[in-house]
Amino acid sequence: MKLVGKLGVCAATLTLSGLCATGLAAATTIPFQLDPAPFSNPNGSFDAPSVRCVAEVGDQPGDMTITGGKPGGWGCLLSSQVRWVNLSTGASGSARLSDGLNGIPAAATVHTGTGQVAVLLDPATPGPITPGLATFFVP
């Protein structure tokens, strides 16, 4: 009888911990970068460092936010085009990063749906810049 009681307590504990874990979704930050090519130099230079952006997933199911990788969300190119495709569902779309006015960093939140997503960030700035590409899972 003691074994049955212990199994019951163990099952209840596992069930309760599973319910708690599903209620606490943690956001994940996935970094990626864009590489400038000043003077047509694909290796970049010291005066034109890589631009570091991040994809934030996990705040809301099926949503991702593209923004800068520096503190406060800064660091990604302003007004850049974000193109995405959900490789699991075939859904696709595009958005534009905000312009960074009024102290608000460039960001775009899109609903991709759950699945493996590929993102291409194409800068709106003039000059040769290699677009940033990232793939990740959106919960």
Could you give the percent of the chain with pLDDT greater than 70?
72
> How high is the pLDDT of residue 13?
39
Is there a domain that residue 92 lies in? yes
pTM: 0.72
Asked if 116 contacts 132 with a C-beta cutoff of 8 angstroms, the reply is no
Is there a domain that residue 18 lies in? no
CATH code for position 116: 2.60.40
Total number of domains constituting the chain: 1
Task: Determine the 3-state secondary structure of 1 from DSSP.
Answer: coil
Residue numbers of the domain that contains 39: 26-138
Between CA 71 and CA 126 the distance in angstroms is: 26
> How high is the pLDDT of residue 2?
53
Q: What digits encode the pLDDT tens for the residues 24-67?
A: 457 899 998 887 766 666 665 666 677 889 999 999 999 999 99
Residue 17 reports pLDDT greater than 60: no
